[in-house]
Amino acid sequence: MDQLQQLERVIKDLEAKIDIISTETGSMAKKITTIEERLNAVTRSQADISQNKESLSLSLQFIKEEITELKNSLGRINDRLFSLSAAAAPVSASTAGEEANQQTTVQSPETVYYAAYSDYIKKNYPLAIQGFRQFIQLFPQNGLADNSLYWIGECYYSQKMYQEAVNTLTELIGNYADGDKIPDAILKKGFALIEMGNQSEGISVLKELISRFPLSEEASLAQQKIREVME
């Protein structure tokens, strides 16, 4: 009888968690709608010749990254719903207790990442750096670990802490050579070096970017920056 009562409590707990996850799914759908509206707005702004090209590129990058991660999050939520439904089958009271304790103490990668990302958007750079470093520490093998390191570099750059930005971006380039943030990291590293007064080294880094990724948007921005410096 005790085991039956404990099992009933476990099932109720699982049902409550399913409700929470369903709510999260609805929230994700609303976020995707909001992001699509922002994407449309940014696309329309391309017609405005006064729009700063680098700023526009960064905005589009934000939006593409958010859409990709939201889609991944929806997939993970569906997997969690399936797992929770399966977990409603008879289990021992001890196993159920251990599972409940683990689920209440472990933070999800997306929660940590987007908390830090939100701080970055709000220009709370020290908090964003702390959050992204926490993400890397907790989830070093996650696909967003290199993104986190990149945004740390952006936080330093935005605060005009150019040497710290260069160090962080160099770490990213060295540790995630095959990551999708490499062109962005090389571009921003070159910009930071130029801002520090190391124009020759900065131009060399930008030329490396153009050589490695000649058809990328980052290469176009690098060429533009080189022309500005050389004028």
Task: Tell me what pLDDT residue 95 has.
Answer: 47
Gap between the Cα atoms of 146 and 175, Å rounded: 8
Closest CA to 21 of 125, 99, 103: 103
For the chain, the first-to-last Cα distance in angstroms comes to: 84
**pLDDT tens per residue across span 119-143:** 999 999 999 999 999 999 999 988 8
Q: What is the pLDDT of residues 46-91, one digit of tens each?
A: 545 444 555 566 666 666 666 666 655 655 565 555 455 445 444 4
pLDDT over 60 at 4, yes or no: yes
Q: What CATH architecture applies to the domain 107-231?
A: Alpha Horseshoe (1.25)
- Residue whose C-alpha is closest to residue 66's, from 23, 107, 37: 37
The one-letter amino acid code at 133 reads R
Mean pLDDT taken over the chain: 78
Q: What is residue 3's predicted lDDT score, i.e. its pLDDT? A: 64
Q: Give the distance, in angstroms, between the CA of residue 18 and the centroid of all CA atoms in the same chain.
A: 26
* Residues 21 and 80: beta-carbon distance below 8 Å: yes
CB-based contacts of 128: which residues, under 8 Å, 6+ apart? 116, 117, 119, 120, 151, 152, 155
Question: What tens digit of pLDDT does each residue of 165-205 get?
Answer: 999 999 999 999 888 899 999 999 999 999 999 999 999 99
pTM: 0.59
Pick from 29-33, 69-73, 203-207, 217-221: least confident = 69-73
Q: Which of 9-13, 94-98, 109-113, 149-153 has the lowest mean pLDDT?
A: 94-98
DSSP state of 106: P
Residue 84 tokens read as: 């929770």
Query: What is residue 93's predicted lDDT score, i.e. its pLDDT?
Result: 44
The pLDDT value recorded for residue 179 is 87
Q: Which residue has the tokens 């289990």?
A: 91
Tokens of 195: 């801002």
Give me the pLDDT at residue 62, please.
66
Distances from the Cα of 160 to the Cα of 98, 125, 154, angstroms: 47, 11, 10
